[in-house]
Structure 1
Amino acid sequence: MKYGYARVSTEDQKADLQIAALEKAGCEYVFTDTASGASSKRPELARCLESLRAGDTLVVWKLDRLGRSLSHLVAVLSDLQAKGVAFQSLTEAIDTQNAAGRLMGHILGALAEFERALIVERTQAGLKAAKRRGQKLGRRPALSEDQRKHARELLAGGQSPATVAKLLNVCRATLYNSLKDKAG
């Protein structure tokens, strides 16, 4: 079965051109969203992807109607391939049911993998630079040194850990971990 997906960015725009092209391509069902390309809230796309089964085909008018970014597009195409769902983009003449379309899918996948590797490299370089500058990385402590000192005093004075944790507005595990990590 062929499913179509159309998207327009604003309420002022009409999806009529896309829908007509999808119906002409043989789509029995067409899902339509009104959302900016960067928006992750596309309920009709989610419904469409949930409807697809092995042997089905997802058809879009143009690639940029489907993916928010290259990595999102590749993720969707990879999920489709894993489910045994074919993909067609009418404007770019991509059809994963033929060799050229599968090649294009592999090229997009390689580009996304390259993009992910670059992001990892940049993140690691940023973390190293921050460490060299003496910045402390990671989550801030749940309790300040003064709060930890106060907690120790209360516990030494006979207060229960549950009472101390409630007083400091943290759970008991956080209290224990704070005292263990910053003992002194």
Structure 2
Amino acid sequence: MFVRAYLRASTQEQDATRARAALEAFAAERGLAVAAWYVENESGASLKRPELFRLLGDCKAGDVLLIEQVDRLSRLNDADWEALKREIGARGVRIVALDLPTSWQSIATADETTARIMAAVNGMLLDMLAAIARKDYTDRRRRQAEGIAKAKTEGVYKGRREDSERNAAIVSMLSKGMTWSSIQKATGCSRSTLSRLRERAANELSQS
């Protein structure tokens, strides 16, 4: 059994590694070592998470996917959550979340009957917590949209300010043929930002 820890934050401005100490402490208390860390800054409402699927690709049956909270794994809609669960189930991966104490027992349970019962209980609780995480996500998006609409009506909405200096540096790196991975490491930007800036630069070049 290998324990593989997954750390996620939604934006580049957030620290995805914030929970690392808590996961390390949890593993150490149980005499476990984290075999690998997978860190990314991507929305939990999207299945397009390269590091999560790299983790699953590295897993063998019986391995543990360790997370701080269920919402680090999923803020997905029903269809995408079911797709992710099928992928996890097909690989025989066990989810252990710090905010789901019943999942902790899956690490130490050897008895087959107990293990099956706990798997059923955890599956139900995971579904519930994933649904709550999705509701929190949609509620926040709704409130944000309402706030923007109100600000626009009042003529005070300015939108998010672009980091023009950073983006110019990214465009320069792209033009020099640097890999996306190296640019991400150097600037902390997301792949969606890279794609957007590459498309913008291509359009500007075609119009010049």
Q: TM-score, normalised by structure 2?
A: 0.46
Measured after TM superposition, the shift of residue 51 of structure 1 is: 0.7
Q: Give the alignment of 1:81-92 within 5 angstroms.
A: 81-92=89-100
Does residue 1:37 correspond to 2:55, yes or no?
no
Q: Match for residue 22 of structure 2? A: 21
- Greater RCO (Cα-Cα under 8 Å, separation 6 or more): 2
> Residues 39, 79 of structure 1: CA spacing in aligned structure 2 closer, same or farther, 3 A cutoff?
closer
SS in 1 for 2:11: coil
Misfit runs of 4+, over 4 Å: 107-112
- Mapping 1:1-184, distance limit 5 Å: 1-24=2-25, 25=27, 26-69=33-76, 71=78, 72-95=80-103, 97=106, 98=115, 99-106=117-124
Q: Deviations over 1:114-172 (max 9, x none)?
A: xxxxxxxxxxxxxxxxxxxxxxxxxxxxxxxxxxxxxxxxxxxxxxxxxxxxxxxxxxx
Larger radius of gyration: 1
Paired with 2:102 and 2:16, the residues of 1 have a C-alpha distance of 21
Count of residue correspondences: 112
What does the per-residue CA deviation read over 1:4-49, in whole Å, with 9 as the maximum and x for residues that have no partner?
Answer: 1110011111123322222232422110110122233211111111
With normalisation by structure 1, the TM-score equals 0.51
Specify every segment of 5 or more residues in structure 1 that has no aligned partner in the other structure, as ranges: 113-184
Q: Distance in 2 between matches of 1:91 and 1:110?
A: 12
The alpha-carbon distance between structure 1 residues 82 and 3, as it changes in their structure 2 partners (threshold 3 A), is same
Instruction: Provide structure 2 residue ranges, at least 5 long, that are not aligned to the other structure.
Output: 28-32, 107-114, 131-208
CA distance in 2, matches of 1:52, 1:80: 9
Q: Tell me which protein shows more helix as a share of its residues.
A: 2
Percent identity (aligned): 35
| Deviation at residue 109 of structure 1 after TM alignment | 5.8
Aligned to 2:137: none
Q: Distance in 1 between matches of 2:61 and 2:85?
A: 14
Q: Distance in 2 between matches of 1:53 and 1:107?
A: 24
Deviations, residues 58-115 of structure 1 (Å, cap 9, x unaligned):
1111111112325333432343233222110112224172544531304656999xxx
Q: Helix, strand or coil: the match of 2:34?
A: coil
Alpha carbon RMSD of aligned pairs, Å?
A: 2.8
The answer as to whether partners of 1:74 and 1:108 remain within 8 angstroms in 2 is: no
Amino acid at match of 2:55: C
